[in-house]
Structure formats: structure tokens, C-alpha cells
Amino acid sequence: MSDYIIMTDSSCDLPADLADKMELSVLPLYLDVDGQRYANYLDEREIAFSEIYAKLRTKCPAKTSAVNVNDFMEPMEAALAAGRDILYIGFSSGLSSTYDAGAMAAREMGERYPDRKIYTVDSLCASMGQGLMLYLAWQQKQQGRTIEEVRDYVEANKLHLCHWFTIDDLMFLKRGGRISGATAIVGSMLSIKPVMHVDNAGHLIKVGTARGRKASLKALADHAERLGVDLADQTVFISHGDCLEDANYLAEIMRTRFGVKDVVINYVGPVIGAHSGPGTVALFFLGTER
């Protein structure tokens, strides 16, 4: 069996120690906050995620940027030159140009190294949904699956990876152009919380609303009940926008209501968090459909 690596980008929002255990090659995306540019490393080496969220709460201007084709070249070439094949599983093309850049780099590297294998998969996933897809792919690799078998597994299962989340601050949706200013103001006054998911095209879609924070978190679990497959036997991922207490609250619901044993909790990374804002909570699991 050929030696291969799984490559991704930092929008996967995996805990750094887990990404290290999985031996992932992770390219950082970039974030500009208050005039300062940061690389989004999983280990927070340039700036702590809590510090980013503190800045977002003070309404500091923030914008994000994807990696480009050249950013992919060096790590891809290093792996190929060392005799290793590459499976790149990237951030949803419905939300970023990152995957397209990785695919372009892979095509060029394929011409330079025709004897090596390099495959790309558009995960159509985001944040720890992408992270969970990578975790499942890594488990397949651990079981001795070939690079083609892992690629095919991801392609076959990516539209079963459910992303459900709620946003606490409607003003972040307003800034992103997803709701009007009037809707944001009235919704905030009435404590209306949107319930959203990532659809089959990898886009963020508003599905419904809940009245109050606890109700919105319970709504995420309701969707897991409706769509989840053998939840008690799954590893469920939960990400949060600097609101660990709420993530733990949702995790406890998943444990008591569905018998879930394994839950991985981590930050919504700053690249996605700059758009979703503080207080975001997201739930990721395998289901019958997205």
C-alpha cells in the first residue's frame, strides 16, 4: 500500500492535538482584525482564539482571506518529493475559494510528479463539520484503506455529514448581508435565534428560529433526533464561538437524550467566527441526509 498524507486547511477547526495525532498537513487561512493580519493556525500560535473573539465583541473590523495556489505548492511538493501521495480534503467551495486553489495546485503538482497520486475532495463542509469528515477519513486510513478507498469514502459520506448551528448575535448576520437591519434589531429585542445548517451545495442556509438561547440549543438536538443515525455509537463534534458553557450544555443534552459517549468540543476558528460571531454553537454528526 502506498504511503499517503491527508492534507486540509485550518477552517477544519480541529483541536490542535487531535490534528497532530491524525498527522494532518494543515494550511492556515488568514484573518485581518483591526488592521493586523494573522495566520489561523490550529494551535493559536499567532493569536489566541479568545483574544480574537474579544476583539469581535468590541466591533473591531475583521475580514478573512483564503489561501492561494502558491500557498499549496510548497507543502504538496515536499510530500510528493518525499515519495508520499496526497489526499486533499478542503473547505466547502460553497463558502470559500480555498478548495479551488488546492485543486489547481494539485493539477500542477500532478504534472510535475506524474508517478505520484494526488487527489482532491471538495468536502462541502465547514468548521468542525470539515473536521469530523477528516476524522472519519483518518479512521478509514487507520484501518488500512488505500488512498482511493478513503477518497471514495469521503465522497460517499460527505452529504450525510450534518451541520446544525445557531447564532447568538444577529448583527453578525446583518453585516454579512444575510438579514436586514430591521430584522436584526427586532429579532434581538425578542431574543429570536436563527437555526441554520449547511446544505448539499455547501452553503449556509437559515432553516428556522427559536425563542431564546436554551431553546435554540435544544433545537439543534431536535435536528439530531430527526436525522441522526445510531447517534450513541458516533463521535459527535460541537464547536463554539467563545461560549464553552453553552457547548457543554448541548453536549450534555446529546449524552442524556441519545446516549452519545464521545463528544469533541472546540472553538469555531477565527476565520469562520469572524462571520458567525461570538456565541455561535454548532453540532456535527452523521445522518440520513444533511
Which has more pLDDT, 28 or 169? 28
For 178-206, what is the mean pLDDT?
A: 71
Evaluate whether 42 touches 19 at the Cβ level (below 8 Å). yes
As given in the structure block, the three cell numbers for residue 248 are 457543554
pLDDT at 208: 85
Q: Rounded distance, CA 216 to CA 246, Å?
A: 11
Percent of the chain with pLDDT over 90: 80
Residue 91 has pLDDT above 70, yes or no: yes
Residue 60 reports pLDDT greater than 60: yes
Q: Across the beta sheet with 62-65, what order do the strands follow?
A: 36-40, 29-33, 62-65
pLDDT band at 186 (very low <50, low <70, confident <90, very high): very low
**If you write DSSP's letter for every residue of 215-279 in order, what string do you get?**
HHHHHHHHHHHHHBSSGGGSEEEEEESS-HHHHHHHHHHHHHHH---EEEEEEPPHHHHHHH-TT
The crossing angle, in degrees rounded to 10, of helices 147-157 and 127-142 is 140
Q: How is residue 287 annotated by DSSP?
A: B
Tens digit of each residue's pLDDT (9 = 90 or more) over 210-233: 988 999 999 999 999 999 999 999
Kindly report, residue by residue over 8-50, the tens digit of the pLDDT. Answer: 999 999 999 999 999 999 999 999 998 899 999 999 999 999 9
Average pLDDT, the chain: 92
What are the tens digits of pLDDT across the range 112-164?
A: 999 999 999 999 999 999 999 999 999 999 999 999 999 999 999 999 999 99
Rounded mean pLDDT of 87-111? 96
Would you state the pLDDT for residue 228? 98
Domains of the chain: 4-158 (3.40.50.10170), 160-286 (3.30.1180.10)
**265 in Cβ contact with 239 (< 8 Å):** yes
Q: What is the pLDDT of residues 244-289, one digit of tens each?
A: 999 999 999 999 999 999 999 999 999 999 888 999 999 999 999 9
